[in-house]
Amino acid sequence: MRNMPAVLVVEDEPAIAELIAVNLRHNGFRPTWAMDSVSAQREIDAALPDLILLDWMLPGESGLSLAKRWRANERTKAVPLIMLTARGDEADRVAGLDAGADDYISKPFSTKELLARVRAVLRRHSPEPTGEAIVIAGLSLDSATHRVAFADQALKLGPTEFKLLHYLMGHAERVHSRGQLLDKVWGDHVYIEERTVDVHVKRLREALGAAGAMVETVRGAGYRLTAKPVVPVAVAAKAMAG
């Protein structure tokens, strides 16, 4: 039982929760059900799950609000989270991702799709330590110790942002389309949308702070990591004057 990943299912509809739990249990997971934000928080306080399946529409505090709260908390910020919801338009998907969700599944969904996404998110949160440390223009990444630093200052990255940075640093100066990044960082499953890449690039830049400028957007093509980011004109003029 210890090796079976624990999944907290936060869903207020018993029939859907039971369907999810049965399929998870039959595929090597340990599901726990919470029907609202209060019971979900109680489960989280008792023990951190390996992954959370969180419904958007809950009685009381919404799933979106819960996601934001858990992402802002040091103890729960790194727990993988997939949002489940009947709200399927792009604005809602983006809102879910911006709230900190790793993925987003619109109802109705197939159990095969659900299981594929759960496995994919768990894979992304368990990067294999391979290769040596990479250092580019003061930005360093050590895959063995899972540490990132810039100018000798440690940086905190989420698991997906770590894998994204690892790939970009391993292929510096090359331009990668969103589709290529999905295949290389997220895997070759077909469920994740390209808009997800933009959300995680934004998170990566924010986490990198001053080094965020090294992750460049190439209009109409994709993204690249460069050792020589474009310097704003005002900054360049000030440097020349000095």
Task: Outline where the chain has alpha helix (H).
Answer: 14-26, 37-46, 63-72, 90-98, 111-124, 159-170, 178-181, 195-208, 233-241
Count CB atoms within 10 A of the CB of residue 52: 28
Query: 19-23, 69-73, 142-146, 237-241 — which is least confidently predicted?
Result: 237-241
More confident site: 152 or 88: 152
**pTM for this model (two decimals):** 0.56
All structural domains of the chain: 6-124 (3.40.50.2300), 134-225 (1.10.10.10)
Count CB atoms within 10 A of the CB of residue 56: 24
Find the distance separating the first CA and the last CA of the chain, reported in whole Å.
64
C-beta separation of 20 from 9 below 8 A: yes
Q: Which two tokens stand for residue 212?
A: 């965020």
Count CB atoms within 10 A of the CB of residue 14: 10
Q: Which two tokens stand for residue 140?
A: 């360093």
Render pLDDT for 111-143 as a digit per residue (tens, 0 to 9).
898 999 898 888 877 655 556 789 999 999 998
Burial of 213 (0-12, 13-18, 19+ CB in 10 A): middle
Render pLDDT for 19-51 as a digit per residue (tens, 0 to 9).
999 999 999 999 999 999 999 999 998 888 999
Count CB atoms within 10 A of the CB of residue 66: 27
